[in-house]
Structure 1
Amino acid sequence: MVTLNGQTLTFPEVRRVLFDREQVTASEESVKKVQASRKAVERIVDEGKTVYGITTGFGKFSDVFIGKEDVEALQLNLIRSHACGIGEPFPEVVSRAMVLLRANALLKGYSGVRPVVIERLLDLVNKGIHPVIPQQGSLGASGDLAPLSHLALVLIGEGEVFYKGERMPGIDALTKEGIFPITLTAKEGLALINGTQAMTAMGVVAYLEAEKLAYQSELIAALTIEGLRGITCAFDEDIHLARGYKEQVQVAERMRHHLVDSRLTTKQGEIRVQDAYSIRCIPQVHGATWQTLNYVKEKLEIEMNAATDNPLIFNDGEKVLSGGNFHGQPIAFAMDFLSIAMAELANISERRIERLVNPQLNDLPPFLSPEPGLQSGAMIMQYAAASLVSENKTLAHPASVDSIPSSANQEDHVSMGTIGSRHAYLVITNARRVLSIEAICAMQATEIRGIDQMAQTTRQFLTKGRELVPSITKDRVFSKDIEVINAWLKDSEFHFDKQTTNKIHS
């Protein structure tokens, strides 16, 4: 059971809730804070004070006073009118993350909602009811208004959900689980949609996949080094300590560990003096990606536990302040940075693929073909990888450098962070397929060199890989092979660090 308090949610906990379906609950202390802030909202309504979003309209309508008799209608109208999401829905796991993160943010006790609102969010998580949330339509400031409105619709018995493998009206899933929809009262609609949970949820899922892929990329690169009789001297610790980046040092250490007992690798001067950059500079390039991943993780951990709606209620209602915590700029930058870093993992992987298939760059059969000329072998797999790498270069264009004013220029600068997070996820998806192609080519090359001479770790990878994809003994539809390896990398639990290097399983 994961206990939420709005302050301490961690990546391991998020991973357990998202992928292991661990149940969640709210801490007693956080619920007390929620109750206190709710009393403040009720006082504001009762006294007829003018406070943004509680007794006023929204955006450009912030100067329009709303009477006590209309506060419920105001919140309902807000959710319905703002549910303007378009396009394909977010993956179900992202929707689950969105609900989890929104509940955690409200539990900080600054938002003025009733505890029942949070209870319903936790019900959705615990019962596996995931709102259908279109991916497009958010500017990433003033909150992820459109996506989160689709989330909020489900709480009031409207909208659609994914439930037990089916897409259905939200009210049907609630009814099946005996959950009653709620009527939103003062500030509650605004509190649900005025936040960064769409971009953050997408970013969290993207990060988790990126972290796994970054570890996997090192092992796949180790296979390539064996296939090319690469020089391991470039991974000597002294080289990397001399520069001083800890992530670079760590990548080099893992590469040495992967290849420690290989008889296919060489020392400088045995076959050649030094390798090309895509081999020799793996610690430097992959290490720089790890620097970025660490930065992204830090920002996401902060945002997962952040109060991002407006206004915020402090000191039991003594201070009710309008601000801009809903602005997604910190996550927008992080997502753009993530796109660039993961695009580079794919970029250098594609260069290694070229070295595996190009007969002018190695002494292997041309394009790893069993009958060069009659059969093309891996020739077009390199084309496919190059295409994905090129597509990533366009996706990695920063979303955060753009801004379009909205709400009659009241909201005149926005982050586009949700676009950035979606693009980051696409980049990671493409990068995984590039690395899948490298894995297929590297397995073929090491088999040609001699399986019995491989390192224990890389041989374990090859053994598992060959259960999924056979050797290239004749041309076939390689698209299927790429997708099989891609699914393995995406869905498997194998995860490589110093402690788990020798654990490869599905």
Structure 2
Amino acid sequence: MTMLEITPGQLNLDQLRQIRNGGVKLKLHASAAEAIRRSAAVVQAAAAGDAPVYGVNTGFGKLASTRIGKEDLAALQRNLIRSHCVGVGAPLAPEVVRLMLATKAASLARGYSGVREVVVQAILDAFNAGLVPFVPCQGSVGASGDLAPLSHMSLALMGEGEMLVDGQRRPALEVLKAAGLKPLELQAKEGLALINGTQTSTALALEGLIRFEVVYATAIVSGALTLDAARGSDGPFDPGIHAVRGQPGQIESAAAYRSLLAGSAIRQSHKEGDDRVQDPYCLRCQPQVMGACLDQARYVRDVLLREANAVTDNPLVFAEPGADPYMVSGGNFHAEPVALAADALACAIAEVGAIAERRIAMLIDTGVSRLPPFLTANAGLNSGFMIAHVTAAALASENKSLAHPASVDSLPTSANQEDHVSMATFAARRLGSMLDNTGHIIAIELLAAAQGFEFLRPLQSSAVLEQAHALVRRSCPPMPDDHYLAPDIEHAAALVQSGEVAALLRQQTGMVVLP
């Protein structure tokens, strides 16, 4: 495996992709050690003292005024983790858990959390051994940290929870022993530092962002395929149109469409003698819509990169060289930045699917596309893509409901001590379902556009769009007559997720969705 050295506070998107995908081991840059030791010394001094310090020798939340004796400080941290393991629902995917482990280790290693080096190393050791703590997906409101999911992650490291092994739940202690690892034993503040943070919501949002990159790039290609199948105009992609507006994503998207369509004999065949003045918006306004979604995704990337590198627990320890050390309570655990970013990405995901659904509807409408009704030569006897479009419409509608902002909701918790929360964890978690939906819409569009090409032969599209057509045809045959279409949709959806169509965009245009 590749050894990836991470410097706390300097994780980049490429590193996060590698962490998410697996196949790497992690080690901390040597420069992190001193800051970790300084902050841990401050906590250890507070634990040995008599002054009340939240998270060290007090209860938590509404119980913060309750003092805990020195002999019980370790038990306090263990009990915190145990009592907060209240998650429900299906387990988080290994990709998400890997991001949780890595970003939690990187956050603690910045030296503002007061944990010992052994805590950070225990997280890295579990990651490097390929261990996946069992973390239920529901139970966090995205404030006071992602308490429940991070508690499940931490309990597994302590040997008291569960791990996922080949998708099955196994006792964590058994799995740790098999990997040659010892259970983590907590000291003062360390349990709180482990669970007070936004690493679950951030990991879920990063998972959505990384997946969106592939779906988005594929949608650019499928949109170009549809435009050529419908013999649409490439005039709306003229660079002057987009330059005078000045929106960067729009300019970049228009350039991508121009490059994908360049050299199409289909386009050349109808440049003259076509009496259509303007294409419908789903074709003509692709750069405007997709460009805005691109800008939105890049904003989300910036927010999530900051959050992946952030220190988000409480209280924080400041022990800079040459200055008097101190601890102070704050609210960095409140995941509002993640919630708003996830809501923004949800809107972009929904819009990519929504305009693709309109393109499918356009293709099957012979009055607009001038292709046979429902993309079948013998309409009536055959229904063609009639109901495939219904599926796309159902998925697009579902996405519209899921796109409702989660961040505008808040329910007070902890006896009104924690009276405004972000709902960031759900905001980020629902991105997965939305991407599944949009991926299937794009899959149906690929099938419909490929079918449209069959009616235009022997004319050829551009070289790159013919490559895309060939990828579809590799597992999905033409449909001259009705056949069992659901397997084709699944094959096309797998093609979307594989990134093979998306790769054509980068190869042809050099466009990188999330540089």
**TM-score when normalising by structure 2:** 0.95
Query: Residue in 1 aligned with 2:212?
Result: 210
Which one is further off, 137-146 or 165-174?
A: 165-174
1:416 aligns with 2:423: yes
Contact kept, 8 Å, 2:496 with 2:502, in 1: the verdict is no
1:435 aligns with 2:442: yes
Which one is further off, 360-369 or 304-313?
A: 360-369
Deviation at 1:47, TM superposition (A): 1.3
Query: Residue in 2 aligned with 1:158?
Result: 160
Contact kept, 8 Å, 1:233 with 1:267, in 2: the verdict is no
Partner of 1:375, secondary structure, is coil
Query: Residue in 2 aligned with 1:259?
Result: 261
How many Å separate the matches in 1 of 2:504 and 2:448? 23
How many Å separate the matches in 1 of 2:136 and 2:368? 47
Which one is further off, 325-334 or 266-275?
A: 266-275
Deviation at 1:268, TM superposition (A): 8.1
- Residues 112/268 of structure 1: CA separation in 2 closer, same or farther (3 Å cut): farther
Partner of 1:244, secondary structure, is coil
What amino acid maps onto 1:22 in structure 2?
V
2:99 to 91, 97, 100: 97
What amino acid maps onto 1:290 in structure 2?
L
How many Å separate the matches in 1 of 2:464 and 2:70? 68
Deviation at 1:454, TM superposition (A): 1.0
1:458 aligns with 2:462: no
Partner of 1:135, secondary structure, is strand
1:186 to 185, 188, 196: 188
1:306 aligns with 2:310: yes
How many Å separate the matches in 1 of 2:7 and 2:374? 56
Deviation at 1:276, TM superposition (A): 0.4
Contact kept, 8 Å, 1:86 with 1:134, in 2: the verdict is yes
Contact kept, 8 Å, 1:268 with 1:274, in 2: the verdict is no
Contact kept, 8 Å, 1:457 with 1:502, in 2: the verdict is no
Query: Residue in 2 aligned with 1:477?
Result: 484
Instruction: Structure 2: give runs of 5+ residues left out of the alignment.
Output: 511-515
Contact kept, 8 Å, 1:94 with 1:205, in 2: the verdict is yes
Partner of 1:72, secondary structure, is helix
What amino acid maps onto 1:327 in structure 2?
H
1:139 aligns with 2:146: no
1:270 aligns with 2:274: yes
1:448 aligns with 2:480: no
Query: Residue in 1 aligned with 2:513?
Result: none
Partner of 1:2, secondary structure, is strand
How many Å separate the matches in 2 of 1:483 and 1:124? 35
Query: Residue in 2 aligned with 1:366?
Result: 373
Question: For 1:27-55, what per-residue CA distance to the aligned partner results, in whole angstroms no more than 9, with x for missing partners?
Answer: 11112211111111110011122111011
What amino acid maps onto 2:371 in structure 1?
L
Query: Residue in 2 aligned with 1:120?
Result: 122
**TM-score when normalising by structure 1:** 0.96
- Residues 129/493 of structure 1: CA separation in 2 closer, same or farther (3 Å cut): farther
What amino acid maps onto 2:103 in structure 1?
L
Deviation at 1:443, TM superposition (A): 0.6
What amino acid maps onto 2:49 in structure 1?
E
How many Å separate the matches in 2 of 1:501 and 1:94? 31
Which one is further off, 477-486 or 378-387?
A: 477-486
Question: For 1:357-397, what per-residue CA distance to the aligned partner results, in whole angstroms no more than 9, with x for missing partners?
Answer: 12232221211124311121111000000000110111011
Provide the aligned length of Structure 1 versus Structure 2: 503
Query: Residue in 1 aligned with 2:48?
Result: 46
What amino acid maps onto 2:283 in structure 1?
I
What amino acid maps onto 1:200 in structure 2?
T
Partner of 1:52, secondary structure, is coil
What amino acid maps onto 1:430 in structure 2?
N
Question: For 1:151-173, what per-residue CA distance to the aligned partner results, in whole angstroms no more than 9, with x for missing partners?
Answer: 00111002222235543222222
How many Å separate the matches in 2 of 1:411 and 1:121? 28
Deviation at 1:425, TM superposition (A): 2.2
Query: Residue in 2 aligned with 1:19?
Result: 21
What amino acid maps onto 1:324 in structure 2?
G
How many Å separate the matches in 2 of 1:165 and 1:418? 22
1:400 to 394, 402, 407: 407
Which one is further off, 269-278 or 333-342?
A: 269-278
Report % sequence identity: 42
Deviation at 1:473, TM superposition (A): 2.9
Partner of 2:297, secondary structure, is helix
What amino acid maps onto 2:301 in structure 1?
K
Contact kept, 8 Å, 1:377 with 1:475, in 2: the verdict is yes
Query: Residue in 1 aligned with 2:361?
Result: 354
Which one is further off, 365-374 or 80-89?
A: 365-374
After superposition, where does 1:57-96 map in structure 2 within 5 Å? 57-96=59-98
Partner of 2:164, secondary structure, is strand
How many Å separate the matches in 2 of 1:499 and 1:420? 30
How many Å separate the matches in 2 of 1:407 and 1:269? 71
How many Å separate the matches in 2 of 1:83 and 1:493? 40
Which one is further off, 245-254 or 113-122?
A: 113-122
How many Å separate the matches in 2 of 1:256 and 1:22? 38
Query: Residue in 2 aligned with 1:108?
Result: 110
Query: Residue in 1 aligned with 2:300?
Result: 296
